[in-house]
Chain A
Amino acid sequence: MNRSWVTKLIVLAIASVLVLSACSSGGNKPGSGSNSGSSQNATNVNGNNSGDSGQSGNAGNAGGQPSGAADSSDPFGGWVEGLPKIEAPEGFDWKQFEGVTLNVITENTPPSSGLAANIEVFEQATGIKVNIEQVNLDIVVEKAGLDFNARNSNYQIIYADPYQILSKQAKHFVDLNTLNNDPTLPSIPGGLEDFIQSQLLVGGYMGDKEHLYALPYDNPTMVLAYRKDVFEKYKDLFMQEKGYDWTPGPDMTWDQYYEVALWINEKAKAGVISEVKYGTGHQAKQHDSLMNDFSNVLAAYGGDYFEAENLGDIGTENPGKSLLTSPEAIEAAEFYNELLKIAAPGSTTWDWNGLAEAFAAGEIAMIPEWHEFAGMFENPELSKVAGKVGWTILPKGPKGRGNMYGGTSIGINKYASDKEIKAAWLFLIWATAPQTQYMILDAGFTPTRYSVYQLPYIQKAMNDPESQEAKEWPLASSLIAAQEAWKEGNVYMRPKIPMWPQIDTIIYTELSKMLAGRQSPADTMKEIAKQSDRLTGN
């Protein structure tokens, strides 16, 4: 009696599920080969990053002669003299994966919109369909985690954030060395050596250098943006009062930065300076941005978060004990706390976006900010400070310098089918190829390849701010600083460890309490150390 009742329930349940799946055939399951017509452009709210690409001149075409006579094995076009070529083994059929559909999940960053806008180049050359799904980073992390956990491959190509995805999930990625060394497949144009090496280390590996899981895809880095007009106009006045050249540059120290910021505050209040209201502004919301902003100071004071080796580059499973109770760390926290007291009062409200908007509105003279915002600052539609922004590396501290690096790579999901993996490899090759990077510069993209930086066009743009090339490519102004920032000793790479999301949260939460005056800098550092050691078991 009971059983038949149960049976009926089950039958009904199945029936209702069937009805449900029938009634919404509009469903568009990623992974299934067929697709409706709406797929030429990838998911993006407004197609391209129109805000950043107000300058419509295509940097890619302006630079050199697109070579029609590229190697016959390269079906993509767009190659220019000086770049390594995309090469395939003799007789390689680029169309052999025709009909495969690839789903890419990525954060909505400049290269993603750049690639999405040009995806037909790849689709036409290979016959592979590519859906680029752009979402916010936390959703990428969650969806990748769910996909891996269920051993699914709803997404064959995944934006592998080194700290939130790669550090935890490396084992779910295809070892790209096997594909790169496969004689039947094309290999990385220019080889791995052509990637900026520090970025390859942090973005490509986890724990050791045996397995390569991902290829560098973007590389935002924190540098100093400042108002050239302000610093030129009041240079002499400052020199008179303080006795040194205040122009931000590699020689500036954090103490001087503080002094300059305070001076600007006072002069602005007194009505002497009218261009800006505040000397410095920060991304000090209770958010990942606060950890980034603080890390620059921490590194400059000689501190770091943990004691283990290789923490910031290839990463490690166990970070060892927290180092935040060190005198250096406490000194850094004390300085940072003081610095934030004289910063623009909105600082505790802002992440990097809010800070950039305030700077673009002309409120602040100096901000430590991600170099990619140059695109926004130089766009007159979005900014009142276009043409007035200078960039340099962040100030140095008593024991060095830190410019936070925040780059990400892309990798391939291990649970995809063999055919999909190979198709995805073709996509990776194309998406990170120098010629493709060159093509999408105008999306506000920063190349991850040495060879691209060697092109005369790029050199001109970076070294001559007045040139036509520089005007076409707004990021050029910040890239000299970014390149300087990537150098050994200047760059700061956060710990690449599996439990980073938790540690990061502890760091910025406690720092936020410090800035709110709830605890002293020393107690803050001790609290972070205590909580992270408990979490890592050290």
Chain B
Amino acid sequence: MQQAASRPLMRKPKRNRTEFWMLLPSIVVLAAISIFPFFFMVYASFMDYSLDMDRPRFAGFGNWADTLTDTAFWQSWGRTLVYAGGGLLAQLVFGCAIALLLYHIPRFRNLFSTLFMLPLFVAPIVTGLLWRFLLDPTYGLYHWVLNTFGLDIQVLGDPSYAMFAVIMMDVWEWTPLITIIVLAGLQTVPEEPLEAADVDGANSWQKIRYILLPMVRRMIVVALLVRSMDILRYVDTIVITTEGGPADATKTIGYYLMQVAFRFQDIGGAASVGLTMLLASILMGRFFIKVLRSEEA
């Protein structure tokens, strides 16, 4: 009976029965806590449903039409593109650069990489509070530094700088993750190709470009996959610092969703916005995993 039940799932039942039973509890727990929310989102996205209503009413494509025709929704996606794209790119560049830096310095490598890791452990809500503190026009350390250099700007109060500032907060917190992953990869690169390159008279940049970077490409993709999932979802720093402003400059799709779900308590609308985010995440995940698999092959 048991075998009959599980056989259709497996190609080689004999060999893999234990693995199947080992995986099953996770699948069940995951299903229990994620499938219902998913179907609920799909259901709610077709209902006129807000928290203060007695019962949801069928709305057809009403929420979808409202969401997809809302210019603020698309503008938020546009800003998200800047936020996520800019953030990931900066993290990637800085992360790799600093990993290479650490890789090349002869002494104190462990000490420096340990110290550099610290921002990673700061809770996002604390990151927000901390940067708000640093950038405050009255007593912010960074505001004062900027001022001393003659830059009298209101970083969080000016739409031209606010987005840059919230990206920098994300970069500050998460660059170390990329750095340690890439550095770990660099340390496993074997000596031979590098020595061979030396013999061929390659310069440092050529060694980085043609030997080191290709060898850690896979790790970079993994790091980007994890980060790309979270950069869309997490809005803690924006909630604490700019709350989407000024002039909507930092209202990313994540913050837009927070507003619809929590402030307006519009469950139907939130579900449709949430599903577009899920879709985008999945597409992005697919993309990175595809890249990953092609690397493996």
Contacts and interface: CB of A to CB of B under 8 A. Distances in A.
B259 A286 contact: no
A358 to B, nearest CB: 4
Contacts of B155: 349
Contacts of B51: 145-146, 148-149
Interface string A10-33: 001100110000000000000000
A8 interface: yes
Contacts of B4: 1
Contacts of B136: 346, 349, 354, 357
Contacts of B135: 349
Nearest to B51: A145
Contacts of A138: 262-263
Contacts of A8: 5
A285 B243 contact: yes
Given A142-B265, A357-B139, A358-B137, A1 B5 contact: yes
Contacts of B158: 348, 516
Nearest to A357: B138
Interface of A is mostly: helix
A5 B28 contact: no
Interface string A327-344: 000000000000000001
Contacts of B157: 285, 345-350
A168 B138 CA distance: 38
B25 A16 contact: yes
B6 interface: yes
A9 interface: yes
A487 B135 CA distance: 39
A515 interface: yes
A227 B281 CA distance: 53
Contacts of B249: 516
Contacts of A13: 28-29, 31-32
Contacts of B1: 4
A443 B135 CA distance: 30
B247 A515 contact: yes
A345 B138 contact: no
Interface in B1-59: 1, 4-6, 24-25, 28-29, 31-32, 51-52
A347 B158 CA distance: 10
A347 B137 CA distance: 9
Contacts of A34: none
Interface in B229-249: 242-249
A223 to B, nearest CB: 21
A22 to B, nearest CB: 15
Interface in A107-132: none
A216 B153 CA distance: 42
Nearest to A164: B263
A516 B28 contact: no
A358 B247 contact: no
B264 interface: yes
Interface of B is mostly: loop
A446 B259 CA distance: 31
A512 B32 contact: no
B152 interface: yes
A95 interface: no
Nearest to A346: B137
Contacts of A148: 51-52
Interface in A278-298: 285-287
A286 B262 CA distance: 17
A169 interface: yes
A460 B265 CA distance: 46
Interface size of A as a range: 35 or more
A7 to B, nearest CB: 9
B228 interface: no
B276 interface: no
A9 B26 CA distance: 11
Given A16-B28, A348-B157, A509-B248, A168 B52 contact: yes
Contact of A12 (B25, B52, B243): B25
Contacts of B244: 286, 509
B139 A513 contact: no
B154 A349 contact: yes
Interface string B156-184: 11110000000000000000000000000
A468 interface: no
A285 B159 CA distance: 11
Contact of B138 (A358, A502, A516): A358
A498 B137 contact: no
A28 B57 CA distance: 35
A363 B138 contact: yes
Pick from B5, B157, B259 the residue with the most CB of A within 10 Å: B157
A498 to B, nearest CB: 7
A516 B159 contact: yes
B245 A354 contact: no
Contact of B246 (A5, A501, A512): A512
Interface string A121-161: 00000000000000000100110011011000000000000
A293 B22 CA distance: 60
A505 interface: yes
Interface of A: 1, 4-5, 8-9, 12-13, 16-17, 138, 141-142, 145-146, 148-149, 168-169, 285-287, 344-350, 354, 357-358, 361, 363, 498, 501-502, 505, 509, 512-513, 515-516, 518
Closest 10 CB pairs of A and B: A286-B245, A346-B137, A349-B157, A348-B157, A516-B247, A145-B51, A168-B52, A513-B247, A358-B138, A5-B5
14 contacts: A13-B29, A17-B32, A141-B262, A142-B265, A148-B52, A149-B51, A285-B242, A286-B248, A354-B136, A501-B263, A501-B264, A501-B265, A505-B259, A509-B245
Given A169-B52, A518-B247, 10 more contacts: A12-B28, A141-B265, A285-B246, A286-B245, A286-B246, A286-B248, A347-B157, A505-B263, A509-B245, A512-B247
